[in-house]
């Protein structure tokens, strides 16, 4: 029972479904859902509805607490490289792996080793 988690939704207990009803006749309550895992909000919410309820109640404070963006985050030529993999490989094996710049639209071939190397970075422009 202790490894069950409670949905963090602030109104979860107010939604009427059979699985939320606990207790015997004359002593029934509608309770927050408790399960071993949840699909929403990083495993914290039983439904998108409950996730939205939480955000409506606490989202503003959470953003202010962790830092509201006051400047746009910018993708530049230097940090716009993303590795990709072409499963079709119609142009041959040498073109299967590549790195692509989402700003300049430049595409450079990679070896499979470079593709799998999580430390691989484009160093020159
Ligand atoms: Zn819930």
> How many angstroms does the Cα of residue 65 sit away from the middle of ligand 1?
24
Q: Give pLDDT tens digits for 59-105.
A: 999 999 999 999 999 999 988 999 998 877 666 666 789 999 999 99
> How many angstroms does the Cα of residue 52 sit away from the middle of ligand 1?
10
Q: Is residue 125 scored above 60 in pLDDT?
A: no
Q: Which band of pLDDT confidence, cut at 50, 70 and 90, is reported for residue 35?
A: very high
Token pair in block for residue 70: 């006051």
> How many angstroms does the Cα of residue 60 sit away from the middle of ligand 1?
20
> How many angstroms does the Cα of residue 40 sit away from the middle of ligand 1?
9
DSSP per residue over the chain, as a string?
A: -TT-EE---TTGGGS--GGGEES-TTS-EE---EES--SBTTTTBSSHHHHHHHIIIIIHHHHHHH----S-----TTT-EEEEE-SS-TT-GGGSEEEEETTT--EEEE-HHHHH-TT------
Whole-model pTM over 0.85: no
Closest CA to 121 of 103, 101, 94: 101
> How many angstroms does the Cα of residue 45 sit away from the middle of ligand 1?
5
């Amino acid at each position: 029972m202790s490894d069950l988690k409670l949905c963090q939704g602030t109104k979860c207990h107010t939604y009427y479904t059979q699985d939320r009803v606990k207790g015997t006749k004359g002593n029934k309550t509608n309770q927050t859902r408790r399960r071993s895992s949840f699909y929403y909000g990083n495993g914290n919410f039983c439904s998108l509805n409950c996730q939205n309820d939480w955000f409506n109640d606490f989202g503003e404070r959470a953003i202010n607490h962790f830092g509201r963006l006051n400047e746009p985050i910018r993708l530049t030529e230097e940090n716009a490289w993303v590795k990709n993999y072409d499963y079709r490989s119609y142009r041959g094996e040498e073109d299967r792996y590549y790195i692509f710049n989402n700003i300049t639209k430049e595409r450079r071939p990679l070896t499979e080793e470079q593709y799998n190397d999580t430390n691989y970075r484009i160093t020159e422009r």
